[in-house]
Amino acid sequence: MGSTLAEVEKCVTFWSKRLCESSFTEDYFRQWIMKEYPSHTVRVSPFWIGRYPITNRQYLCFTQANKYSLAESLKRNEHAEHPVWGVSLTDVKAFIDWLNNFTEGSYRLPTEAEWEYAARGSSDWEYPFGSHFDTKCCNTLESSIGGTTPVYQYADYASTFGICDLAGNVEEWTADYYTPYLGGKFIIDDLVYYLGSHYPITRGGSFARSGDLARCARRHGPHPGSVYKYMGFRLAADYKV
């Protein structure tokens, strides 16, 4: 997982000229991408991961059963098969606790390494769907859709494991908090300014942000800006024979 210095520079060269805000300088952007450095090997135990992020329909079952407050996507009456968004880590924990109790399961959020492996697999692609960015393969700002899409809409461009919507649509919570990779430097950026040095890692980007966030290796966090509120999640579980 992660990126080599050459991969960092490749990303900066391509995306620094395509960022959605002019205030994002190349040097500042490079600093964000350096969170991915260095590339390194991680061994993960076998695990299950949801083919799709949790949908509005699924989350509504939870809210109705527990008289829990609606996620913002439900307040906006978005389509049942679109991903739920506007959920905090507290909301996610409540959903998982309810689901595990209801099903006697052992669901959880994926770790950062599990998420990246599900997206990248053994292919080492830059995006879950291939080595080159393509607007037909995911719902990011470049797609000009302007909102969420059904979680299965890009099934033809799933990862090598058949996992859908790992690029764009809604950003996804993981179970891990930011720490530099071994051999990397601690990056002080706007997320540290807003959230402190210990913040949860999110992955995948959203329809409201540029495709650089849809890269398999991209590490982000719950930025408080309104354009970053499109936060959802998918489930994982340990593999048991």
Residue-wise pLDDT for 19-65, tens only, equals: 767 677 888 899 999 999 999 999 999 999 999 999 999 999 999 99
Whether 2 is covered by a domain: the verdict is no
Q: What is the pLDDT of residue 142?
A: 95
Whether 60 is covered by a domain: the verdict is no
Average pLDDT, the chain: 95
Residue 122 predicted with pLDDT over 90: no
Helix H, strand E, coil C: the string for the chain is CCCCHHHHHHHHHHHCCCCCCCCCCHHHHHHHHHHHCCCCCCCCCCEEECCCCCEHHHHHHHHHHHCCCCCHHHHCCCCCCCECCCCCHHHHHHHHHHHHHHHCCCCECCCHHHHHHHHHCCCCCCECCECCCCHHHCECHHHCCCCCCCCCCCHHHCCCCCCCCCCECCEEEEEEECCCCCCCCCCCCHHHHHHCCCCEEEECCCCCCCHHHHCCCCCECCCCCHHHCCEECCCEEECCC
Whether 133 is covered by a domain: the verdict is yes
Whether 208 is covered by a domain: the verdict is yes
Q: What is the pLDDT of residue 58?
A: 98
Residue-wise pLDDT for 79-120, tens only, equals: 999 999 999 999 999 999 999 999 999 999 999 999 999 999
Residue-wise pLDDT for 205-220, tens only, equals: 999 999 999 999 999 9
Q: Give the residue numbers spanning the domain of 204.
A: 108-238
- Mean pLDDT score, 173-199: 96
Structural domain total, the chain: 1
**What CATH number does residue 177 fall under?**
3.90.1580.10
Q: What is the pLDDT of residue 19?
A: 76
Residue 68 predicted with pLDDT over 90: yes
